[in-house]
Chains A and B, each alone.
Chain A
Amino acid sequence: MEQASLLKVNNIEVIYEHVILVLKGVSLEVPHGSIVSLLGANGAGKTTTLKAISNLVKAERGEVTKGTVEFEGKRIDKMYAPQVVKLGVIQIMEGRRTFEHLTVEDDLLTGAYTRGHDYKGIKEALKMVYDYFPRLVDRRTAKTGYISGGEMQMCAIGRALMAKPKLMLLDEPSMGLAPLLVEEIFEIIVRLNKEENVAMLLAEQNAAMALQYAHYGYIMENGRVVLDGDSETLKDNADVREFYLGLTEIGKKSYRDVKHYKRRKRWLA
Chain B
Amino acid sequence: MTFFFEVLISGLLVGVMYSLVAMGFALIYKASGVFNFAQGDMSLLAGLALVGFLTVMPLWLALLCTFAVMTILAYGTVFIIFRPLVARPPLILFMAAIGLSFLIQGIGQAIWGTDAKGLNIGIPEISFEISGIYLNTFDLTFGGVATALVAGLVWFFQKTRTGRALRAVADDHEAALSVGIPLLRAWAVTWVIAGIVATVAGVAWGSRLGVQFSLSLIALKALPVLILGGIDSILGAILAGLLIGASENLAEVFIGPYVGGGIQTFFPYLVALIVLWFKPYGMFGKEIIERV
User: Which residues of A are interface residues toward B (Cβ below 8 A)?
Assistant: 54, 56, 59-61, 80-82, 85-86, 90-93, 97-102, 106-107, 109-111, 113-114, 117, 143, 145-146, 149, 159-160, 163
Contacts and interface: CB of A to CB of B under 8 A. Distances in A.
Contacts, number: 86
A97 B172 contact: yes
B200 to A, nearest CB: 26
A93 B171 contact: no
A82 B87 contact: no
A56 B175 CA distance: 9
A33 B158 CA distance: 37
Interface of B: 86-87, 161, 164-165, 167-168, 170-183, 286, 289, 291
B180 A61 contact: no
The 6 closest A-B pairs by CB, nearest first: A85-B180, A145-B289, A114-B180, A97-B175, A99-B171, A82-B180
Contacts of B180: 81-82, 85-86, 90, 113-114, 163
Contact of A113 (B173, B179, B289): B179
A56 B161 contact: no
Interface of A is mostly: helix
Contacts of A98: 175
Nearest to B290: A145
B286 A101 contact: yes
Nearest to B286: A101
A91 B177 CA distance: 10
Given A106-B164, A146-B289, A99 B181 contact: no
A59 B177 contact: yes
A113 B161 contact: yes
A101 B175 contact: no
A235 to B, nearest CB: 31
B175 A59 contact: no
A15 B178 CA distance: 20
A146 B287 CA distance: 12
Contacts of A90: 178-180
